[in-house]
Structures are given as structure tokens and as C-alpha cells.
Amino acid sequence: MQMEITVHFWFNLSLLIVLLFFCLLGTGRFHAQQRYRMMFYAYFIVSLVICYLFSYKLSSSMYLDLRNIPVIIAGFYTGYAPLFCLIAVLLRAFYGFDSGFFLNIVLYAVLGISLWRLSPWFLKLSSNRRVGLASLFTLLISFLTMIFTQMMFSSKELLDVWFAYMVIPPLGAGMIVYFMELIDKNLVLQEHIVRTKRLEAVEQMGAAISHEIRNPLTTAIGFVQLLQENDAPQEKQTEYLTLIKSELESAEQVIQDYLTFSKPSLVTLSDIFLHEELHHVLKILQPLANQYSVEITEKLEPVSSIHGDRQKIRQCFLNIVKNAIESMPNGGVLTIESTASPINAIVKIEDSGVGMTKQQIDRLGEPYYSTKGSKGTGLGMMVVYSIVRALRGTIKVQSKVGKGTVFLLTFPIKPESSQPPNP
């Protein structure tokens, strides 16, 4: 026969490997546990059918194929070995109720019981041991099959059959079990990644709340300390209390935003004059600027209004200006400008601080990335970029190390925009 059966078996094994590949492509549509189970049953049943369709007819009652591979692997992994052995026997019935059929009944009865008893122990083994055991067990079954075959065809030259059965089924079983163990590891890894991302989202949410609420609380604490100085006039005390209330309301709004797990959304829309909001933010951050010996220069031109959320705009400017002040630990100049083009309102925030490299600029807005090192979370700038996108605006950053940084923000002016009030 000149290795004809061996070549036939190699072709049969190739079909099983290709079928496994297509099964893997289909598992992504289902939940991890469901797709794993469905892949098992579908793959092994179809594999049995393929093995019978590509059987090699050795005689009128003897058909050679690789059906032992799907039966053994399915029996080990699912614990339903008797069921798969029954399917194998029923498929064999399509070739006739001859001596080979009744021999199959005996062989698969013993095989089904053996696999059923060994399955719980098999599933407790490590991946490498499963591969080895599946190969060895398949080798044993192949050897027993060849003993029966040799007894039935003692006068025939069965060297090709011996080689095909003793090499290809054990090798095929080991390969398929190895691939299935890789699938299992990948599924476990995917589920771990999903859980990790969920935990990271919760951690990021907590860090963001902590970061964003610290700004208004720090400001409120500063004004409370000023109130504790009993020599403050009544007019100043009233002004401080108003600012404290405003900052506490800002803190409450930040908490509500992040507890909803939503991106910055424009909830309360109104006409906003950017020069007024910038003036308000600078007034809030004046104590921080004094602390850092930073001189603030305002060049705020009244411009047409934009349509947006006032709280979000203030939060955006507050983060940028606060970062600009903190970038000048030895003092410096902070220049805030507001101008307009026919279609956009433009805000320019320039500092004379430590500056940033191009790599740092490119990473601005990424979660957990901060130019402050361990002192920052990077979430403040992430919120800034999100708010600007929500307002359909753009943000550009220019910086030189040791020279300072310029933030240029543009926002579309509201069509038929109202004019700023007279000063």
C-alpha cells in the first residue's frame, strides 16, 4: 500500500485542525462560558462525522479513520464519554451491521466507561499533563485497535496501518489538546482583563472625584481661613461666603458628574461669555497665585457668547489656570486673553513656567499621565480635553522647556449670538 493509509490519516488530521480553527473564529460571538461549551460539542460532533466521511475501507467490514481522537478528547473534557461513544457507534452503523460494527460496540463500551471514570481526574491535571495523558491514552487505544485488526487480518501486510495508527492519532490528540488548553488560557486571560479594566474604571472614577473635588474645596478652605481673620469688613465677609457657596456647589456638581459614570455632558445649556467666566476663575484662584508669587495679566475682550454648560466651562478654565500657576513655583507671569473671530471665541492662557517637552504635550489628556510626577493624576487635563470636545471646541498647546506654555482654546460662537453686556 506504500503508506497510502498514513497519507490518508494525515489528510484527515488536517481537516480536524482546520475545523478547530473555524470553531475558534465563531467563539467570539458568545459569552465566554457559553462559547467554550458550544465549541466543544459542535467541534467534536462534526469531527466524528468528518472522520467517518473520510474513512479508509480496508475490507468489507473494516473501516479505518481517526474517530478515536474526538471521542477520547471529548470524553476527557466533557465527562460525557458514553454519549460520544454512542454517537460513534451509531455513525458506524451507516456502513452496515457486520462484524466490524459489533467489534466497535465492544471497543467503545470499554472506552466510554474508562473515559467517564478518568475524566474527573484528567480535569484536575495541569495543561502539560493533560496533553501528555491524552497522547498516551490515544496511543494505548490505537495499539489495542491494531491488535484486533492484526487478529482479523493476520495474513495481510499491515505495516502502513501500524505506522498510521501508532503515530498520527497520538500526535493529533496531543496537538488538539494543546490548542484547546491555549484557548482555555486565553479565555481566562480575557476574563481577567475585563475584571481588571472594570476595577481600573472604578479606581479612575475615585481618583477623578478626589482630584476634581479638591480644587473647589481648597478654594473654600482658603476663604474660610480669611473669614477667621476677624478684621475682615462685612462686605468682604459677604463676598467670601458667596464664593465659598459657589465652590461647594461646584464640588457637588463634580460628584454628580462622576457618580453617573458619564462623560462630561452639557446638561444646563445657556449663553456664556467667556471673558466673564475667565474673570470669575481668576478671582477664585487669586489666593493661589499670591501664594506662588504669580502676577496675573488680564486681556479679556468682551466677545459674543457661546452655547454651553457654565459649570463645565469654569471647571475647564480652573484646571488649566491652576496648572499654569503651579508650573511657576518660583513666581512668574500668567497672561489670560480672550478674543474672537467671525465664527469662534478664542482663549489664550500663557505662563512663564517650567514648560513641557513635545512628548509631554502629546500625552496631555491621558488618564494617569501628569507632568507633576507622583503629585498629579493627569485626570485634570483629561477632564479639560473632554469638556472642550463636548463643546465642539479645539485645544492646542505650545511649550518650550524653561520658557513656558501656551494653551489656545477655540469655541464656536452661537449663531445669532447675543452681544456681551456693557461694562
| Measured distance CA(176)–CA(16) in Å, rounded | 9
| Measured distance CA(298)–CA(354) in Å, rounded | 21
For 354-367, what is each residue's pLDDT tens digit?
999 888 888 887 65
Any bridge partners for residue 306, and if so which? 272
Beta-strand pair 394-400/332-340: unpaired
pLDDT given at position 418: 54
Low-confidence ranges of the chain (pLDDT < 50): 1, 260-262, 374, 423
For 263-287, what is each residue's pLDDT tens digit?
555 567 788 888 889 999 999 999 8
pLDDT given at position 260: 41
Whether 339 contacts 301, CB under 8 Å: yes
| Measured distance CA(382)–CA(336) in Å, rounded | 21
Show Cβ contacts of residue 378 under 8 Å, excluding neighbours closer than 6 positions: 366, 367, 368, 369, 370
Q: Which DSSP state fits 2?
A: T
Show Cβ contacts of residue 304 under 8 Å, excluding neighbours closer than 6 positions: 340, 345, 413, 414, 417, 418, 419, 420
Whole-number average pLDDT of the chain: 81
CA dist 267 to 21, 212, 221, 308, 414, Å?
49, 18, 28, 9, 17
pTM here is 0.50
Residue type for position 379? L
| Measured distance CA(221)–CA(331) in Å, rounded | 23
Task: Say how many C-beta atoms besides its own lie within 10 A of residue 44's C-beta.
Answer: 26
Beta-strand pair 344-351/332-340: antiparallel
Tell me if residue 399 falls in helix, strand or coil: strand
